[in-house]
Structure 1
Amino acid sequence: MLVKRMYARRGYTGSRHVLDEHNRVTLTATDKGEVVGTVTIGIDSELGLMADELFKDILDEHRARGARLCECTKLAFDLSERSRVPLANVFHLALIYARDLYDCTDVVIEINPRHRRFYERMLGFRQQGELKINPRVNAPAYLMHLSLDYVSEQVERLGGTFDTPAGSAERSLYPYFFSPREERGIINRLLRMDEHHISS
């Protein structure tokens, strides 16, 4: 599969699954057969999003302006330097999946306060609303928001440049995202797979 080949080019592999009954799909990054991280992407629907439990008022404001929301949950990665490549790759794949297969325009994520700066600095997320206690994990959580237009702009400017002087000088994760050319190949492949799934 093209996605796996592009992942493997950087020393990792990825697996993709179809949406479950809750409109969620989980992507997994593995290194030599060992899982190094996962992310679940949820697509907004009549079922809503998990973040609605705490932040429905904010999400409804986005919906009212016409946003098509998705959310990242169960993002399980070691947020150290050595995890930058698999984290960037699997996160990029998740956003491609949401944006190009399900027409999402915005992504939200609930995160522990100690991770807020990471998501702001590395991906451009911005805090929305106040700190709340998430009963699902019995821990404090911020709601963070990111426009997928912003992601597209960063990929066009920085994607695939991690081994260049410009990419090395950039502090965000975007140089570790797939290049624009790689991204277009992934999108085309996923769209063909989706068409085949619908017709079969």
Structure 2
Amino acid sequence: MIDTVVTEEVGHSNTADHGSESYSPNIVDVAINESVFGIRAADVDEHRNSASMLISKMYAWRGYSGNHTVGKDPNRITLTATSKGEVIGTLSLNLDSDVGLLCDQVFKDHIDPYRANGGKVCELIKLAIDPGVKSKAVLGSLFHVAFIYARDLHGCSDIFIEVNPRHRRFYEAMLDFVVECESRPNPRVDAPAVLLRGNTALGTRRIAEVAGQGDHAVGDRSLFPYFFSPREEAGIIARLKRIG
């Protein structure tokens, strides 16, 4: 059983999770049976540092090189899933700007046509989930809040992501991403990368079809059933627009 509460003023009541000056409220709290986690924007150094530690641990485990620190960037929104004061997952949304996207370094020739056709592009980066977390709800919640930021707060039409070729099937099957460009060397991580693209219009349709159904979704094994229901989504959008 999954219950979602859109927070109005604060997130968890656990003061150890808040701290004092470093506390930023959760965007949304999610309860799965007896377990509760919150999704928040990592907008203070403490939260960015916690996200960086998880990313560095998981990327090192996968053998990726490079700097995986989450820095302060006006064009980047870093989200964290937090349980009992610990960051259990993180995902960042990188918005297009004068400096471009990180994936422009390798795939700019495939991204520029969408810009030229009037699209607004962004990218998902730095996904990391604690290996002890097996919940699809954590992943679905992080991706859905990032999707809301992209579509509703920044008007993006297309969401790109660079992934190792061995992970491409996950994004195709779980999030309906399509391959935009086959494998190329990615010097940032010293590994090959495939460029995938998601479309916000298609994502909106999938949310309307199955979001909020969780394990009860029939014939759909993607992450979309673990997104927030349309009613819950509307509450999250309203909250994010209020807090800017």
TM-score by length of 1: 0.89
- The corresponding residue for 1:158 is 210
Q: CA deviation at 1:22?
A: 5.2
2:174 is matched with which residue: 119, 122, 146? 122
Q: Report the Cα distance in structure 1 between the residues aligned to 2:139 and 2:116, rounded to whole angstroms.
A: 31
Conserved 8 A contact 1:162-1:168: no
Q: CA deviation at 1:105?
A: 1.0
1:107 is matched with which residue: 159, 167, 181? 159
Higher Cα Rg: structure 1 or 2? 2
Q: Report the Cα distance in structure 2 between the residues aligned to 1:13 and 1:21, rounded to whole angstroms.
A: 22
Q: Report the Cα distance in structure 1 between the residues aligned to 2:99 and 2:162, rounded to whole angstroms.
A: 18
Are 1:182 and 2:232 matched, yes or no? yes
Q: Report the Cα distance in structure 2 between the residues aligned to 1:142 and 1:104, rounded to whole angstroms.
A: 21
* CA displacement 1:20-66 (0-9 Å, x = unmatched): 43511100012222221100100111110000000001100111111
Q: CA deviation at 1:129?
A: 1.5
TM-score by length of 2: 0.73
Structure with greater helix percent: 1
Q: CA deviation at 1:114?
A: 0.9
CA RMSD of aligned residues (A): 2.1
Conserved 8 A contact 2:27-2:41: no
- The corresponding residue for 1:24 is 76
Are 1:59 and 2:59 matched, yes or no? no
Conserved 8 A contact 1:6-1:182: no
The within-5 A match list for 1:1-200 is 1-2=7-8, 4=26, 6-10=28-32, 11-17=36-42, 20-21=72-73, 23-77=75-129, 82-164=134-216, 167-194=217-244
Conserved 8 A contact 1:89-1:176: yes
- Give 5+ residue unaligned stretches, structure 1: 195-200
Percent identical among aligned pairs is 45
Q: 1:79 to 1:54 in 2, by over 3 A?
A: farther
Q: CA deviation at 1:85?
A: 1.0
Q: Report the Cα distance in structure 1 between the residues aligned to 2:199 and 2:78, rounded to whole angstroms.
A: 21
- The corresponding residue for 1:198 is none
Q: CA deviation at 1:83?
A: 3.2
Conserved 8 A contact 2:27-2:40: no
Q: 1:20 to 1:105 in 2, by over 3 A?
A: farther
- The corresponding residue for 2:60 is none
Q: Report the Cα distance in structure 1 between the residues aligned to 2:128 and 2:31, rounded to whole angstroms.
A: 22
Q: CA deviation at 1:13?
A: 0.9
SS of alignment partner, residue 56 of structure 1: helix
Could you tell which deviates more after superposition, 8-17 or 56-65? 8-17
Number of aligned residue pairs: give it.
Answer: 192
Conserved 8 A contact 2:28-2:40: no
Q: CA deviation at 1:169?
A: 3.3
- Give 5+ residue unaligned stretches, structure 2: 1-6, 12-25, 44-70
Q: Which runs of 4+ in 1 moved over 2 A?
A: 1-11, 17-22, 31-34, 77-81
